[in-house]
Amino acid sequence: MDFSLSDEQQMVIKEAKRFAEKRLAPKVEELDEKGEVNITALKELGELGYLGITVPEKYGGVNMGAIAYAGTMLELSKVDAGTAVEVSVHNSLVNEGILKFGTEKQKQEYLPKLATGEWLGCFSLSEANAGSDPGALRMSAVRKGGNYVLNGTKNFTSSGDFADVIFVFAQTDMDKTTTGISAFILTKDTPGFSVGKHENKMGIRSASCTELVFEDCVIPVDSMLGKENKGLRIALTLLDGGRIGIAAQAIGIAEAALEEAIRYSKERVQFKRTLSKFQGIQFMLAEMATEVELAKTMLFRVAWMKDSGVKDYVKESAMLKLYASEMSHRVCHKSLQIHGGYGYMKDYKIERLYRDQRITEIYEGTSEIQKVVIARKILE
Long-range contacts of 29-33 (CB under 8 A, 24+ apart): 29/352, 31/80, 31/82, 31/205, 31/206, 32/82, 32/205, 32/206, 32/352, 33/205
3-class secondary structure for the chain?
CCCCCCHHHHHHHHHHHHHHHHHHHHHHHHHHHHCCCCHHHHHHHHHCCHHHCCCCHHHCCCCCHHHHHHHHHHHHHHHCHHHHHHHHHHHHHHHHHHHHHCCHHHHHHHHHHHHCCCCCEEEECCECCECCCHHHCCCEEEEECCEEEEEEEEEEEECCCCCCEEEEEEECCHHHHHHHEEEEEEECCCCCEEEEEECCCCCCCCCCEEEEEEEEEEEEHHHEECCCCCHHHHHHHHHHHHHHHHHHHHHHHHHHHHHHHHHHHHHCEECCEEHHHCHHHHHHHHHHHHHHHHHHHHHHHHHHHHHCCCCCCHHHHHHHHHHHHHHHHHHHHHHHHHHHHHHHCCCCHHHHHHHHHHHHHCCCCCHHHHHHHHHHHHCC
Q: What are phi and psi of 76, to 5 degrees?
A: -65, -40
Q: Which of 361, 364, 368, 380 is catalytic?
A: 364
Known catalytic residue at 364: yes
In this structure, are residues 298 and 322 in contact, taking their beta carbons and an 8 Å threshold? Answer: no
Active site residues: 364
